[in-house]
Amino acid sequence: MRTIANYDKVNNEFILNGEKRFITNGSIADTLVVYARNGGFIVQSDWEGYEVIEEYKMMGLHGLHLGHIKFNNLRIPKANALFYQEIKEPSEKIVGKTSTIESLQNMLGPERVILSAQALGVAKRALEIAIQYTQERIQFKKPISEFEGINFKIAEMSTNFEAARALVEKAVNDMRDSILAAMAKLFSCQTAFKICDDALQCLGGIGYTNKYAVERCLRDVRLLRIGGGTDEIMKYIIQKGIYKKSQQSSKEMLKKEFFESD
């Protein structure tokens, strides 16, 4: 994150400079919460210095306006600051964690659990369509649900859906557990993508058209393996948390052994 705010003491306002890609509804929003490296601010898009560089076209989520936006000396009244941390060095030299990064990290856990629930919702719809369609479609004088190649897919899709739901429910019960949130997001979003793909396969050619919602489910759900943190970043968070826990428990064991041997 390179967007940076500087405080103008004379005019009692902040001056924001930077750019952000992939901002949900950033190209049409009137009011935005913007995180800079050293603060959070409420910004109006009609202020001078707010520029929409581009609105991206996407493979799915066609109701969403994905913006690339730029802040060119955007002046923000002091009252619109959510928090601010003064940084002495020039912006190019800022490294390491600031209060913004910590605040964002605290917010991302709950956001990831919510995205996991979204993934379950999309997967559920695709699965329902596949269950219904496979009982109606006749091939070789039988509903295709009677072919093991199809009904075993339904069995696996349903089992994986329930496993993902159980993990998401566990994460919902402790939204502060960032490792569990990452596990729920990784597993539910990958599972939902696979369920939507298998549902499309169950529908054959018609699945690839827009007659049924499964092709839309597949396109829309794909984003969830990227937005809010990619699959790879979820794996990074999970392994880091697991090794940290393991090292902490080894230290505690050593401490216990040391005192018990006294």
Ligand X SMILES: Cc1cc2nc3c(=O)[nH]c(=O)nc-3n(C[C@H](O)[C@H](O)[C@H](O)COP(=O)(O)OP(=O)(O)OC[C@H]3O[C@@H](n4cnc5c(N)ncnc54)[C@H](O)[C@@H]3O)c2cc1C
Binding residues for ligand X (CB under 6 A): 22-24, 58, 61, 64, 66, 223, 226-230, 232-233, 236
User: In the complex with ligand X, which residue's Cβ is closer, 39 or 227?
Assistant: 227
CB of 28 to ligand X, least distance (A): 12
CB of 167 to ligand X, least distance (A): 21
What are the structure tokens assigned to 220, written together?
A: 């829309």
Report how far apart, in Å, the C-alpha atoms of 141 and of each of 85, 168, 202 are. 71, 41, 17
CB of 112 to ligand X, least distance (A): 11
CB of 186 to ligand X, least distance (A): 11
CB of 189 to ligand X, least distance (A): 12
Q: Nearest 5 degrees, angle CA 80-CA 82-CA 179?
A: 145
- Cβ atoms of 183 and 174 within 8 Å: the answer is no
User: In the complex with ligand X, which residue's Cβ is closer, 65 or 194?
Assistant: 65
Which residues make Cβ contacts (< 8 Å) with residue 13, sequence separation at least 6? 7, 75, 76, 77, 78
User: In the complex with ligand X, which residue's Cβ is closer, 236 or 243?
Assistant: 236
User: In the complex with ligand X, which residue's Cβ is closer, 145 or 230?
Assistant: 230
User: In the complex with ligand X, which residue's Cβ is closer, 98 or 135?
Assistant: 98
- Cβ atoms of 51 and 75 within 8 Å: the answer is no
Q: Which residue has the tokens 């901002």?
A: 23
